[in-house]
A and B are shown apart, each in its own frame.
Chain A
Amino acid sequence: MRILFLAMALLANPALAAPIRVDINSGIAQPLPVAVPGFAATASQTTEAGSSAELGGRIAQVIAGDLRSSGLFRPIDPAAYTTTVDAADVLRPQFANWRTIAAQALITGNVTVNADGSITVGCYAYDVFSAEELTRQGFVTTAAGWRRAAHKCADLVYSRLTGESGYFDSRIVYISETGPRTRRIKRLAVMDQDGAGHRFLTQGQNLVLTPRFAPNQQTITYLSFEGNRPRVWLYTLGSGRQEAIGDFPNMSFAPRFSPDGSNLIFSMAVGGNTDIYRLDIATRRLTRLTSQSGIDTAPSYSPDGSRIVFESDRGGSQQLYVMAADGSGPQRISFGEGRAATPVWSPRGDLIAFTRIGGGRFSIGVMRPDGGGERLLTNAYQDEGPTWSPNGRVILYFRSARGGPVNLWSVDLSGQNERKVPTPLDGSDPAWSPLLP
């Protein structure tokens, strides 16, 4: 008995105590509070776009706006900041100032004007509570391109803190609409993804529909009814040159580029049957991909170019089908209530976004390429025409209010953070460009 007690007492030596094990199974899902003070000017200089200090302030605002729009960050109101950041602080911030306002990350940087008039924007991100630098990168651009430097910085911070690739340095092309319902004026327009830099590309004399970006960013394809003949056109952004692709006497609509930019796929009505065709842009050679009776339209390539998803009513109602890029082996992938239309393959290849039509409403949904895992992301009266952000996390679409305006909206892949995209007039048929290089 004594031996037993001796042994137990010796084992009570605290040095042998194991770390206590704690399990935490839930936290609080909320946007990350961040601070984005105005970028510092390394020296007081002027550019054609304003002084370096002014640029610093505007760059910070663009970054904060980008991060806020993603729904994953909450930039703290600058009125709450207890300090500004000057050039010395950028490399060695006073973290205590940012902890007191409960910022978890600090995004800051500086603007330097180079001898040739270009600017260098230094972008730094810090973890406030561990006082560590998270990432840093410099961006050189023309003074007029300061917005792109800001978007690049926002992309850097976004990807470092979420693990996803960014999407802020990209553009949106869409159809800008105005006028009464019976006499709509539709113009091609392009803008930055945050709504800045808006430009009209066509004048509105002709009906234009379904614009799409080429992978190389410089060309947009769309459908135009110029001369009352619906044709697929290519619009080169730099030069403004518009070119009709061949001269097809037949109706053609819903054009899209292949991932390598060498082909266009679209649908054409021939002899009462609408099928999907592929056009080699360089050789202008046309290949027919589907041949079933019925309407096959709205084709979209998978990101690796090996498969095409499209919409067809061959089975009696609009549904989604996937086939190989050469047109072989079409399989239906959409089932369930109602109809499915306008499929778009995600740039990540893991999902297909589409419009679900049923129950008196149009909704945006996603499903896996095998048809499983269908989820509806929106729940309004008429949401249609989805397009993916470059990182496959956000979907842009257009929403028509009952008897009212039609506007561009975006939603996060998890179904949250629905927000309206600001456009000068009504807008529809959006397409999101790839990330600018």
Chain B
Amino acid sequence: MTERQALIGAGVAHMLLFAALSIGWEWRQEVLPPADEIIAIEFVDIADAPRVTQAPKPSKEAAPQETSAPAPAEAAVPEPMAVPDAVPPPEKPKEAPKKAEAPPADAKPLDMSKLSNLIDKALPKARTKPLDVSKLATTIEAAAPRAAAIDPRAAATIAQAIRSQVAPCWNPPIGGADVRRMTVLIRADFSRDGRLIGVPSIVSQTGVTVGNADYARAFAETARRALLRCSPLKLPAQQYDLWKSAEINFDPESMT
């Protein structure tokens, strides 16, 4: 092999290598945020505490929206940029690297709202396919799943409200050692105004033996009567889903 051929071969190999590396680079580019989207930081002198004129808006559009989603991001674009044009419009990502040296010496404090605009701009680009938005929530509050298990504070408050209304109506049978060891779980369904739907049913009972079946029946009836006496309950209608069906465990162990 002559030197020339070797040089050509090495050059081709280098070009092939370079091409391969370039392709890999571009592929990765689609997954990672593009380098040009890095937020530019403006250095300012800090005299006192930084003045934040507007509290940072939590991005309510965090959940994917209907087709109007891109609008806020695009709407943010026409806002006048207080930050000097270190931030390029999204259509011209290639110019971003040049802006790194754009004059940052603007005496204005960092405008958080404008930063959030920058964040918003990232959203439309990341979308890869259209979503079925009919089932999706429109705000963060609605997006949080409403099952009681996931919202422990609201559930605990409702449970306390039920307890404080039903417990004063419960007269467990007094006396009788068997009864002290019993518990009963009652299932009750409520309508939206707090009234019972149907008669509460007994889900399960503990402490029942062959010998104390009569006590067990009397005991379970006192629990059922407590619910019947004290309905309708006063509970928040907007959280009806949390309390429309309740399982209430009556356990007299802490009495006497």
In the assembly, what is the distance between CA of A22 and CA of B75, in Å?
49
Given contacts A14-B241, A17-B242, A163-B176, contact A27 B214 (CB under 8 A): no
Render A158-179 as a binary contact track against B, CB cut-off 8 A, 1 for contact.
0111111000000000000000
Q: Which residues of B contact A163 (CB under 8 A)?
A: 173, 176, 178-179, 212, 214-219
Q: Which residues of B contact A416 (CB under 8 A)?
A: 174-175
Instruction: List CB contacts (< 8 Å) of A1-47 with chain B.
Output: 1-2, 5-6, 8-12, 14, 16-32
Are B146 and A12 in contact, with the CB atoms below 8 A?
A: yes
CB distance from A206 to the nearest CB of B (A): 40
Given contacts A17-B147, A22-B159, contact A28 B252 (CB under 8 A): no
CB distance from A411 to the nearest CB of B (A): 11
Summed over the interface, the residue pairs from A and B with CB atoms below 8 Å come to a total of 162
Given contacts A20-B246, A24-B251, A72-B174, contact A29 B218 (CB under 8 A): no
Given contacts A19-B247, A21-B249, A130-B224, contact A159 B214 (CB under 8 A): yes
Flag whether A412 is at the interface (Cβ < 8 A): yes
Flag whether B54 is at the interface (Cβ < 8 A): no
Are B219 and A20 in contact, with the CB atoms below 8 A?
A: no
The answer, among A12, A20, A29, for a CB contact under 8 Å with B158, is: A20
The chain A residue with its CB closest to the CB of B174 is A29
In the assembly, what is the distance between CA of A413 and CA of B254, in Å?
20
CB distance from B237 to the nearest CB of A (A): 14
Flag whether A400 is at the interface (Cβ < 8 A): no
The answer, among A25, A28, A30, A72, for a CB contact under 8 Å with B175, is: A72
Are A12 and B225 in contact, with the CB atoms below 8 A?
A: no
The answer, among B127, B224, B249, for a CB contact under 8 Å with A2, is: B127
Are A2 and B218 in contact, with the CB atoms below 8 A?
A: no
Are B145 and A8 in contact, with the CB atoms below 8 A?
A: yes
Flag whether A414 is at the interface (Cβ < 8 A): yes
The chain A residue with its CB closest to the CB of B143 is A9
In the assembly, what is the distance between CA of A8 and CA of B219, in Å?
42
The chain A residue with its CB closest to the CB of B221 is A127
Are B248 and A12 in contact, with the CB atoms below 8 A?
A: no
Instruction: List CB contacts (< 8 Å) of B87-145 with chain A.
Output: 126-128, 131-132, 135-137, 142-145
Flag whether A335 is at the interface (Cβ < 8 A): no
Flag whether A129 is at the interface (Cβ < 8 A): yes
Given contacts A18-B148, A24-B163, A25-B253, contact A30 B171 (CB under 8 A): yes
Are A24 and B136 in contact, with the CB atoms below 8 A?
A: no
Flag whether A339 is at the interface (Cβ < 8 A): no
Flag whether A236 is at the interface (Cβ < 8 A): no
Flag whether B149 is at the interface (Cβ < 8 A): yes
CB distance from B218 to the nearest CB of A (A): 4
In the assembly, what is the distance between CA of A217 and CA of B184, in Å?
40
The answer, among A20, A28, A129, A159, for a CB contact under 8 Å with B225, is: A129
Are A164 and B252 in contact, with the CB atoms below 8 A?
A: no
CB distance from B234 to the nearest CB of A (A): 15
Scoring A22, A27, A129, A412 by chain B CB atoms within 10 A of each residue's CB, the highest score goes to: A22
Are A129 and B254 in contact, with the CB atoms below 8 A?
A: no
The chain B residue with its CB closest to the CB of A99 is B229
In the assembly, what is the distance between CA of A416 and CA of B249, in Å?
28
Flag whether A290 is at the interface (Cβ < 8 A): no
The answer, among B149, B175, B225, B243, for a CB contact under 8 Å with A130, is: B225
Flag whether A68 is at the interface (Cβ < 8 A): no
Q: Which residues of B contact A29 (CB under 8 A)?
A: 171-172, 174, 255-256
Q: Which residues of B contact A72 (CB under 8 A)?
A: 173-175
Instruction: List CB contacts (< 8 Å) of B197-237 with chain A.
Output: 199, 212, 214-219, 221-222, 224-226, 228-229
Flag whether A104 is at the interface (Cβ < 8 A): yes
Q: Which residues of B contact A20 (CB under 8 A)?
A: 148, 155, 158-159, 162, 242-243, 245-247
Render A393-426 as a binary contact track against B, CB cut-off 8 A, 1 for contact.
1000000000000000000111010000000000
Scoring A28, A32, A160 by chain B CB atoms within 10 A of each residue's CB, the highest score goes to: A28
Render B154-191 as a binary contact track against A, CB cut-off 8 A, 1 for contact.
01001100110011111111111011000000010000
Flag whether B44 is at the interface (Cβ < 8 A): no
Flag whether B82 is at the interface (Cβ < 8 A): no
Q: Which residues of B contact A14 (CB under 8 A)?
A: 146, 241
The list of the 3 closest CB pairs from A to B, nearest first, reads A27-B170, A163-B215, A163-B214
Chain B interface residues toward A at CB < 8 A? 63-64, 126-128, 131-132, 135-137, 142-149, 155, 158-159, 162-163, 166-176, 178-179, 187, 199, 212, 214-219, 221-222, 224-226, 228-229, 241-243, 245-256
17 extra A-B contacts, CB within 8 A, seeds A25-B254, A127-B221: A5-B136, A12-B144, A12-B147, A17-B242, A18-B149, A22-B159, A25-B251, A27-B168, A29-B255, A104-B225, A129-B228, A159-B214, A161-B221, A162-B173, A162-B218, A164-B214, A393-B176
The 13 listed contacts between A and B (C-beta, < 8 Å) are A5-B64, A10-B135, A11-B147, A14-B146, A17-B241, A19-B247, A24-B248, A24-B249, A27-B169, A28-B167, A129-B228, A163-B176, A414-B174
Chain A interface residues toward B at CB < 8 A? 1-2, 5-6, 8-12, 14, 16-32, 72, 104, 127, 129-130, 159-164, 393, 412-414, 416
